[in-house]
Amino acid sequence: MTKTERAAFIEQRLAELYPDTPIPLDHRDPYTLLVAVLLSAQCTDARVNLVTPSLWTLASNPRDMARRSVEEIDAIVRPCGLAPRKARNIRDLSAILVEQHGGRVPADFEALEALPGVGHKTASVVMAQAFGVPAFPVDTHIHRLAQRWKLTPGKNVQRTEADLKRLFPKESWNQLHLRIIFYGREYCTARGCDGTVCDICRTCVPERKKPVATKK
């Protein structure tokens, strides 16, 4: 298979497996999605979804959250790790949203990435899932799978994102990145597949006999 053929097969197979692409993080609006994505760094979506109901009870909008102390926020989000940095970022970005954006999450990459704790991947998730802007958020798992499927040499996540955007139609990006996440969690896990086990790995690279060592 050529790289283009692999991409076409992957897109078709994932669409068959996951015709629906629900957003894994529970949220109410762009603001609660932004906070949930920030909390998901080095934490599972399942754990974030357990924590956020209590956080929304404390404050569910930028104005209310900006009035809360870091200690109050941290007491709730600490199970998500990286405490109290995440709590401080949530409080600080909320204040910035109030002061600079009228209390609304901006639908703009540059403005989002200027917020505390919000990098390109987080901004991409918010732009794709809250505002429907084509984006291809690449986390560690997508980065690893793209290497296993020989869609990218995997030098870094920036290169992987650029390679995936070139390979797949722009209108498919928002659904496709979720489908890759779903497939990775179910079939091509870090422990369950080493590049030689799951259906997509075996189909895309049938000649592979040894485990593939992916780059981070």
- The reply to whether 121 belongs to the active site is yes
104 & 195 share domain: no
174 & 101 share domain: no
Where residue 55 sits, what CATH number does that domain have?
1.10.340.30
> Is residue 102 one of the residues assigned to a domain?
yes
Is the pLDDT at 215 greater than 80, yes or no?
A: no
What's the token pair of residue 92? Answer: 């600080």
Exactly one of 74, 86, 139, 150 is catalytic; name it. Answer: 139
Please name which of 10, 42, 49, 66 lies closest in space to residue 122, comparing C-alpha atoms: 42
Exactly one of 121, 150, 163, 194 is catalytic; name it. Answer: 121
Is the pLDDT at 60 greater than 90, yes or no?
A: yes
In this structure, are residues 170 and 134 in contact, taking their beta carbons and an 8 Å threshold?
yes
> Is residue 152 one of the residues assigned to a domain?
yes
- pTM for the model: 0.93
**pLDDT by residue (tens digit) across 86-108?**
999 999 999 999 999 999 999 99
9 & 98 share domain: no
**pLDDT by residue (tens digit) across 140-167?**
889 999 999 999 998 899 999 999 999 9
Is the pLDDT at 214 greater than 80, yes or no?
A: no
**Considering its fold, how many domains does the chain have in total?**
2
> Is residue 209 one of the residues assigned to a domain?
no
Q: With the C-alpha atoms ordered 182, 187, 190, 196, is the resulting torsion angle positive or negative?
A: negative
122 & 143 share domain: no
Task: Enumerate residues 6+ apart whose C-beta is below 8 A from 63.
Answer: 94, 98, 103
Query: Which has the higher per-residue pLDDT, 171 or 192?
Result: 171
**pLDDT by residue (tens digit) across 185-210?**
999 998 889 899 999 999 999 999 88
pLDDT band at 34 (very low <50, low <70, confident <90, very high): very high
In this structure, are residues 188 and 141 in contact, taking their beta carbons and an 8 Å threshold?
no
Where residue 179 sits, what CATH number does that domain have?
1.10.1670.10
pLDDT for 36: 98
- The reply to whether 139 belongs to the active site is yes
Domain ranges, residue 76: 30-131
